[in-house]
Each structure stands twice: as C-alpha cells, then as structure tokens.
Amino acid sequence: MLEPQSTVLFVLLLLTFAALMWWMISTRRAAFRIIAACLAFTFAMFFGVMAVNRYYGYYETWGAVVGDITSQGADGVNAAPQVTGTDLPSASPVSLRGRSAINGGLARQQGYVLRLAVAGPRSRIARMAYVYLPPQYFQPAYQHYRFPVIELIHGQPGEPQDWINVVGVTVTLDRLVHEGLAWPVVLVMPDANGGEDISLQCLNQVRGPQDLTYLAQDVPAQITRTLRVQPPGPAWGVAGYSEGGFCAANMALRFRYRYGFAGVLSGYFQPSDNQLAQPIRAVNPFGTSLALRQQNTPVDELQQLPAGAVIPKFWLGAGRDDRQDVGNAEFFWQELALRQADVPLTLTAGGGHDMATWRAEVPQMLRWMTRGLARMARMDPMTRPAAVARPCGRPGPASRGHQVSRAAQAPLRAGRDCAGRLTRPRTRLAARLRGTVTGPHRAGRAARARRLAEPG
C-alpha cells in the first residue's frame, strides 16, 4: 500500500508537509520553528525523490531500494542464492565471493545468481558480472545440456544488478518457464561501463577502454569456458534497454556470427559522445574517424551489408508515449524489414522511457527470444538433455495437488522434453528411419511380399 510509487504515500507526504508548515508559522517558540522547518525540508526533499522515482518508474518496492543501496539485491530481493565455485556443475572452477555452501534443493527450485569476476585478455578490462543459472541447470535431466545464453546490457545511469533488482528479469524468466511460455536460458549481466559517471555505449573508445571487445568477445569467452552453456553463435542472444538497447543492436550487427538474436528496448541507433570520468568529460568515441562511426551506427551497418547477408533476428520495443523512442524503433524496423521478415515491434501503451515500460516488455521479449534460442541449442550435437516427466521449471501446482496448466504440459504432450527435444518418435517416417514399420503397415508389406513370391 505504501510502496515507493503508491498514490497514498504521495498524499501522506503532502499532508505531512502542510502540517509542518502550519506548525512552523503558528508556533511562537523559535526552537519549534527551527524543528518544523527542518522536518518540512526533509519531507519536501523526500517527496521530490519519490516523484522522480515515480516518473521514471525505477523502484516499485522498498526491498528493491534497500537491495540496490546495500548491493544485496542480487540474492536478497529475488531469493536467488550465491554459491561457491567448487559447488557449481560447470566446465571449470569458478572463483566467487560470498557463501561457502549452497542448498542444492533450493537451487534446483529457484535457480541461482552468482557474482563473477570477468577479466578480458583482449580488452585488458576486468569487471564484475552477474550470472543467473535457471533451476534446470541443476536438475539431472539437464546434466548434459548446454544452455543458450542471453547477455543483458543495462542503461546509463545504471548497473548490471538493475536487471535483477528493478526489472526483475530472474523472477520473470522463472515464472514464464514454469508456465510453459518460455525456455530455460542462462542470463549474463555484465558491467557495461565500469563506473557510475562513465558512459561508453559498448564501443571501443579510440585511445581508451575497448568496451565492445570486452562485452562481445571477452565476456562470452569466459562464460563459455566457465559454465555449461552454448558457445557464442546462434544460441546466444543480446538485449538491452536505453543505452543498452543501442549496445544490443550494435553488438549484434558488429558480431553477426556470435549472436543469433537481439532485443532492443527503447534503444537508439546512432551513437553519441561517450562520457569519461576523472575528470568527467564528453569525448568522441571514434576520434576523427568517420569510418569507425559508420561501422558502429546500426542503421548504416544494415545498409552496407550485401544482399543475403546473415543477421541476428531482432525484437524491438518502445513506450508509445515517448515519441523519440517510437520514431527510432519504427525507423529501424523499416530498415530491418528489407532483410528480415516479421520483425516483432511492441509499442507499450502508456509507456515512456522508464523502467515500468521495460518491466512490461521484458516478458514478451523473453517469450520470443528463448523459444528461438532453444531451437538453436537443439541443433547442437553436443546437446543431449534427458526426457523429463513433469512440466518445466520449479515444482509447481502439480506437486500441491492442483492441475497443471495446458501451456506447461504442452512440451510433454508433443513428445518433447523441457529443452524441446523429441523424447519418442511421433510419425511413421521416424519409425522407418529406425528401420522398422509397425502395425498394419508391417502386415501389409508382408502380404505384398507373399503375393510377389507366388507363381504367376
């Protein structure tokens, strides 16, 4: 009721401010006037902060506020535990800070967030990244399955944990998988800028940080070495909001064979100046090179590609009330339509350039992207998930005596496991490929053989 964006909270703040102002004016004692003035100023300042938060739709709960301030949101807000590297069922040891033990049962039900140090040998950049492993990562049915990956790029100002604390992407993905509306994937949330006052737009700054190299090459390389995931390629996706939306579009087109899917939420498609710190200053990321600018402008990149060039599949979204975001999305959508049919474009009614809009759009983007990523992962000969005998996701209503939704049972009815692979042949053609034909078809073939064997 009294969450950061609630109307009741705003009314109470206004009434409290008015009461304090009346007390300051009516009282005759100087000490009381000073106290009332200080309290009135405090409530006015708090009201201003809450108004800004409501306008941009940043924090919806007090838990998200506390989690962001204390940097505990990754495991506190969404109940996804952090673990030590020795407990990870991964390809190689992981060095982590945090707890010394994990609850395997909890990880199999809720998944799990780890904070990982990623050092880039190519870019010479070292930063922290958050990685979400879905519950299926720890389930026996998936012990040989290499998961597809979505790399999520935050905006500016912003931090990688905003995807967890504010957007709620881990809880959203878990819910969608449980309902049978999405497929399990690993989420990688790297630090895209390296500081609060820095904006690099995921670009390689001339004579500066090689941010594009770090995010598109170094981070995927270490994640692939460390975890049981697909290598960079068709089973990797990249998505981002605001500045992160530009990053997603540019990274996908610059590294067309390292990403199969891209999601752009309220992004732009022409780079601006970077912002560096110490001292804070705006700089041209390309120096004096027009060629570098053109190579990192998604609209120009599309126009320069030869006919038939392979590009990642795109999903675009924007808040309908933000004309600039809508104009950018529609212009880029029109360019994409010349090379890619049926590009999804979602314009959120009542949405602006804010977190509330991106929270509303993330479920749609995940449903679309995880389906395609799972299809690409099934094409990998190294992927061998075992058949599962229950709906995807954490133990849900079925374990409590309730009926499971049809959407959640769909993969099983279709003869597929939670990773989407066929668990049994469904057609006569499949039986023939195994060298057998059953039922009346076998009997008919035997009868024809006997007739051919009889003398004329």
Note whether 187 and 259 are same-domain residues.
yes
pTM above 0.75, yes or no: no
The pLDDT of residue 69: 52
HSE toward the beta carbon, residue 236, CA cutoff 13 A: 25
pLDDT digits (tens, 9 = 90+) for 13-24: 888 888 888 888
pLDDT digits (tens, 9 = 90+) for 124-149: 999 999 999 999 999 999 999 999 99
Q: How would you class 214 by CB atoms within 10 Å of its CB: exposed for 0-12, middle for 13-18, buried for 19 or more? A: buried
12 or 292, greater pLDDT: 292
Report yes or no on 402 lying in a domain: no
Report yes or no on 257 lying in a domain: yes
Q: What is the largest CA-CA distance in the chain?
A: 127
Number of domains, the chain: 3
Note whether 283 and 315 are same-domain residues.
yes
> Minimum mean pLDDT among 110-119, 231-240, 254-263, 394-403: which range?
394-403
- Give whichever of 49-63, 102-116, 299-313, 372-386 has the largest mean pLDDT: 299-313
Between CA 31 and CA 400 the distance in angstroms is 62
Yes or no: say if 163 and 187 are a contact pair by the CB < 8 Å rule: yes
Of the candidates 189, 215, 224, which has an alpha carbon nearest to the alpha carbon of residue 73?
Answer: 189
pLDDT at 225 over 90: yes
Report yes or no on 86 lying in a domain: yes
Report yes or no on 250 lying in a domain: yes
Note whether 46 and 93 are same-domain residues.
no
Note whether 33 and 161 are same-domain residues.
no
Domain end (from 361, 378, 395): 378
The CATH number of the domain where 97 resides is what? 3.40.50.1820
pLDDT digits (tens, 9 = 90+) for 22-32: 888 888 888 88
Note whether 140 and 261 are same-domain residues.
yes
Give residue 224's domain range.
Answer: 74-378
Strands 149-153 and 233-241, by their bridges, are: parallel
For residues 248-261, give the mean pLDDT. Answer: 97
Note whether 317 and 193 are same-domain residues.
yes
Note whether 155 and 277 are same-domain residues.
yes
pLDDT digits (tens, 9 = 90+) for 331-365: 999 999 999 999 999 999 999 999 999 999 999 99
13 DSSP assignment: H
pLDDT digits (tens, 9 = 90+) for 52-105: 766 555 565 665 565 555 544 434 333 444 443 334 444 433 333 333 456 778
Note whether 99 and 45 are same-domain residues.
no
Query: Rounded to whole angstroms, what are the CA distances from 416 to 389, 404, 411?
Result: 10, 17, 5
3-class secondary structure, 411: helix
pLDDT digits (tens, 9 = 90+) for 150-191: 999 999 989 999 999 999 999 999 999 999 999 999 999 999
Report yes or no on 406 lying in a domain: no
Report yes or no on 419 lying in a domain: no
Mean pLDDT, the chain, integer: 79
Neighbours of 19 (CB within 10 A): 14
Residues 6+ away with beta carbon under 8 Å from 125: 119, 194, 209, 210, 211, 214, 218
Report yes or no on 399 lying in a domain: no
HSE toward the beta carbon, residue 292, CA cutoff 13 A: 12
Note whether 30 and 115 are same-domain residues.
no
Q: Which helix (H) or strand (E) holds 348?
A: strand 345-348
Note whether 285 and 350 are same-domain residues.
yes
Note whether 177 and 245 are same-domain residues.
yes
Q: How would you class 147 by CB atoms within 10 Å of its CB: exposed for 0-12, middle for 13-18, buried for 19 or more? A: buried
- Helices 7-26 and 30-56: crossing angle, nearest 10°? 160
The pLDDT of residue 418: 46
The pLDDT of residue 426: 39
The pLDDT of residue 27: 84
Note whether 198 and 292 are same-domain residues.
yes
Between CA 165 and CA 184 the distance in angstroms is 20
Report yes or no on 389 lying in a domain: no
pLDDT at 387 over 80: no
HSE toward the beta carbon, residue 159, CA cutoff 13 A: 17
